Amino acid sequence: MSSSNPSAQRPAQILVVDDEPDLRTLYELTLLREGYRVEAAGSVSEAREHLDAGRFDAVITDMRLPDGLGMEILQRIQQEQRSERCVVMTAYGSAENAVEALKAGAFDYLTKPVDLKQFRTVVASAVQAQAAPARPVRQAEDSGSKLTAITSNAGIAALERLVGGSEPMRLVKSRIAKVARGMAPVLVRGESGTGKELAARAVHACSQRSDGPFVAVNCGAIPENLLEAEFFGARKGSYTGSSQDRDGYFQAARGGTLFLDEIGDLPLAMQSKLLRAIQERSVRPIGSTQEDAVDVRIVSATHKDLQAEVQAGRFRQDLFYRLNVIEIAVPALRERREDLPALCEALLARIARDAGMPIPALSAEVLQRLSQHPLHGNVRELENLLHRAVALSDGDVLHIDVSSPAAQLEPAGAPPATATQAPAEPQQPAPPAARPAAAVPSDLQSYLDQQEREILVRALQESGFNRTAAAARLGLSLRQIRYRIARLGIATPGGDDSHGNGPDD
Ligand SMILES: Nc1ncnc2c1ncn2[C@@H]1O[C@H](COP(=O)(O)OP(=O)(O)OP(=O)(O)O)[C@@H](O)[C@H]1O
């Protein structure tokens, strides 16, 4: 019995459809050896008869059949909402067919001539996905709305982490739940800070690969000369200083999901190599003569308009086509303002938990201010604002200091208090907001303390509250930063600085 289907009580049933008798026999024998029960058909009409007569866990079909296309079998399974996972075999080089089949709901595709090892992996994955509904089914609930049935608790938890019950967010979540089970590449689009990575993690957690790794890669953060080794691995001695074999992201994500964040930042040369890896489902580590087969699902994300990047010649059309089989668009926060209270509540709970302190209350007035704030940086900006407010608050009730330049809580388009125009903030993509010129502070010491506090809080946040790292960034010693944190009463996770028991000590 196949180890790929450990949870099933009975052997999985597979229907193989191919008009070439030799190939059909080869597939049948391969699957029988894996412990599956196999039926075979040589045409669309024969496949229909088998489907009329019984249920299968997976249907593996050739695309071109004497009396029609494999797509017709797939369409029938979809239309009748049958549970069979469908794998389509397409001719080598016909990317359109593969993408079309995935878009139409195929679980996965195989390219002919079929590599038997890959064949076994893909079938095992389809059968595993099929076996999942046998587990107790819970319905994920979010703000009163029921999502598609999700089988794993990990999936439900990941969707719940994506806070927001607004209509656009409910659509995003039900789409995630729907597309998670399958191998079709997913492209998550959305502005920076909208939660694209959370969405990608939810796709993984709702999929049959949730027990496998989720490997997140920021494509824009890797130096160009290291990209290939980082993605595909390197053999010992293949470059100066490489003293042992090293796996790349593709190998690390085997059996799981490879999340390619900021895919629009990948240089063109690397785009070609990535396309090849996706098409061939194998990678060649630097310095190796052999290809490593890789079984990964690709989820990518971008804040860029990739179609425009294609038009501008900065992104390969064929790669875009391969990655964008299923699209999930995460809405900007301004398109779902009704999510603000729930988001604030969830973010404050997380911040307080990390800091080991009670959850501060958010007054209706602060919430009202936040709802008028443009929040161009989306949930990340909201999170930073709340972080800062928590770090600076001295009681149970949270205040957001509107005079603080970092808080920037003026509503967009508010009339300027004076005629003087401040230059637009360089990092803000928003239209420049008119801002009063800073007045000379009436209390220099508290003004400077406030500035220092904000800088320290930011450095601490950006270094994950590692005080050694934050101190290094600010050119301070650990002793100096501890002293300043204590003097300014900044709350940090790990608590009492005077005892030096923080996370970095
Ligand atoms: N719906 C949400 N519920 C709870 N937290 C969220 C939500 N959306 C985003 N966040 C939080 O906001 C921060 C940014 O989210 P994330 O990194 O997923 O955004 P992103 O769109 O991938 O950003 P970027 O484009 O800059 O990579 C994270 O800390 C995340 O936990």
Candidate from 111-125, 183-197, 256-270 with smallest mean pLDDT: 111-125
> Considering the chain, what is the average pLDDT of its residues?
82
| pLDDT category of residue 364 using cuts at 50, 70 and 90 | confident
C-alpha of residue 194 to centroid of ligand 1, in Å: 5
Taking residues 149-160, report their average pLDDT.
Answer: 79
**Nearest residue by C-alpha to atom 23 in ligand 1:** 193
Q: Of the segments 4-8, 44-48, 89-93, 101-105, which one has the largest average pLDDT value?
A: 44-48
Residue with more model confidence, 126 or 408 = 126
C-alpha of residue 364 to centroid of ligand 1, in Å: 24
C-alpha of residue 196 to centroid of ligand 1, in Å: 6
Q: Degrees (nearest 5) of the Cα angle 396, 402, 404?
A: 100
Residue with more model confidence, 150 or 316 = 316
C-alpha of residue 199 to centroid of ligand 1, in Å: 9
Distance, in Å, from the CA atom of 77 to the CA atom of 190, rounded to the nearest integer, reads: 32
Question: Which residues in 222-284 belong to E strands, given as ranges?
Answer: 257-261, 282-283
Residues 6+ apart with CB under 8 A from 299: 185, 186, 187, 188, 200, 203, 204, 257, 258, 259, 260
| pLDDT category of residue 165 using cuts at 50, 70 and 90 | very high
C-alpha of residue 197 to centroid of ligand 1, in Å: 6
Residue with more model confidence, 42 or 495 = 42
Give the count of beta carbons closer than 10 Å to the beta carbon of residue 243: 7
Q: Is the confidence at residue 229, as pLDDT, over 80?
A: yes
Taking residues 159-171, report their average pLDDT.
Answer: 95
Q: Degrees (nearest 5) of the Cα angle 300, 335, 149?
A: 60
Q: Which of 172, 173, 198 to mutate to test the pocket of ligand 1 (most atoms within 8 A of CB)?
A: 198
Q: Give the ligand 1 atom nearest the CA of 163.
A: 3
Q: Is the confidence at residue 489, as pLDDT, over 50?
A: yes
Residues 6+ apart with CB under 8 A from 433: 410, 412, 413, 414, 424
C-alpha of residue 233 to centroid of ligand 1, in Å: 29
Q: Which of 142, 159, 163, 197 to mutate to test the pocket of ligand 1 (most atoms within 8 A of CB)?
A: 197
DSSP string over 138-175: EEEEETTEEEEEE--HHHHHHHHHS---SHHHHHHHHH
C-alpha of residue 192 to centroid of ligand 1, in Å: 8
Residues 6+ apart with CB under 8 A from 343: 163, 164, 333, 379, 382
Distance, in Å, from the CA atom of 500 to the CA atom of 480, rounded to the nearest integer, reads: 12
**Nearest residue by C-alpha to atom 7 in ligand 1:** 195
C-alpha of residue 65 to centroid of ligand 1, in Å: 46
The structural domains of the chain, with segments of one domain joined by +, span 13-134, 138-329, 335-416+437-499
Q: Give the ligand 1 atom nearest the CA of 199.
A: 18
**Nearest residue by C-alpha to atom 16 in ligand 1:** 195
C-alpha of residue 466 to centroid of ligand 1, in Å: 21
Candidate from 103-107, 187-191, 198-202 with smallest mean pLDDT: 103-107
| pLDDT category of residue 152 using cuts at 50, 70 and 90 | confident
Question: Which residues in 198-279 belong to E strands, given as ranges?
Answer: 214-218, 257-261
pLDDT computed for residue 248 by the predictor: 93
Hey, what are 471's tokens? 């101190």
Residue with more model confidence, 351 or 503 = 351
Q: Is the confidence at residue 398, as pLDDT, over 80?
A: no
Strands 64-65 and 68-69: antiparallel
Within 6 A (CB) of ligand 1 lie 162-164, 190, 192-198, 261, 301, 303, 343, 346, 379-380, 383
Q: Give the ligand 1 atom nearest the CA of 218.
A: 27
Residue with more model confidence, 490 or 233 = 233
Whether this model's pTM surpasses 0.80: no
pLDDT computed for residue 451 by the predictor: 84
Q: Which of 176, 340, 343, 379 to mutate to test the pocket of ligand 1 (most atoms within 8 A of CB)?
A: 379
Q: Is the confidence at residue 499, as pLDDT, over 70?
A: no
Q: Give the ligand 1 atom nearest the CA of 200.
A: 18
Hey, what are 486's tokens? 């204590």
C-alpha of residue 237 to centroid of ligand 1, in Å: 39
CATH class of domain segment(s) 335-416+437-499: mainly alpha
C-alpha of residue 348 to centroid of ligand 1, in Å: 14
**Nearest residue by C-alpha to atom 29 in ligand 1:** 380
Asked if 138-329 and 335-416+437-499 have one fold, the answer is: no
| Contact by Cβ (8 Å): 4, 35 | no
| pLDDT category of residue 483 using cuts at 50, 70 and 90 | confident
Q: Is the confidence at residue 200, as pLDDT, over 80?
A: yes
C-alpha of residue 410 to centroid of ligand 1, in Å: 23
Q: Of the segments 152-161, 242-251, 253-262, which one has the largest average pLDDT value?
A: 253-262
Taking residues 190-202, report their average pLDDT.
Answer: 95
* Helical spans, DSSP H, in 363-443: 364-372, 378-392
Q: Give the ligand 1 atom nearest the CA of 303.
A: 25
Q: Is the confidence at residue 422, as pLDDT, over 60?
A: no
Taking residues 225-244, report their average pLDDT.
Answer: 83
Tell me: the pLDDT tens digits for 272-319?
A: 999 999 988 899 999 999 998 899 999 999 999 999 999 999 999 999
**Nearest residue by C-alpha to atom 25 in ligand 1:** 192
| Contact by Cβ (8 Å): 260, 217 | yes
pLDDT computed for residue 392 by the predictor: 72
**Nearest residue by C-alpha to atom 18 in ligand 1:** 195
Q: Is the confidence at residue 225, as pLDDT, over 90?
A: no
CATH homologous superfamily of 138-329: P-loop containing nucleotide triphosphate hydrolases (3.40.50.300)
Q: Give the ligand 1 atom nearest the CA of 190.
A: 21
Q: Is the confidence at residue 505, as pLDDT, over 90?
A: no
| pLDDT category of residue 35 using cuts at 50, 70 and 90 | very high
pLDDT computed for residue 503 by the predictor: 46
Q: 3-state SS string over 321-386? A: HHHCCEEEECCCHHHCHHHHHHHHHHHHHHHHHHHCCCCCEECHHHHHHHHHCCCCCHHHHHHHHH
- Selected from 3.30.450.20, 3.40.50.2300, 3.30.1390.10, 3.10.20.30, the CATH number assigned to the domain covering 13-134 reads 3.40.50.2300
pLDDT computed for residue 131 by the predictor: 64
pLDDT computed for residue 151 by the predictor: 53
Tokens 């439900």 appear where? 156
Q: Is the confidence at residue 137, as pLDDT, over 50?
A: no
pLDDT computed for residue 93 by the predictor: 66
| pLDDT category of residue 242 using cuts at 50, 70 and 90 | low
pLDDT computed for residue 478 by the predictor: 80
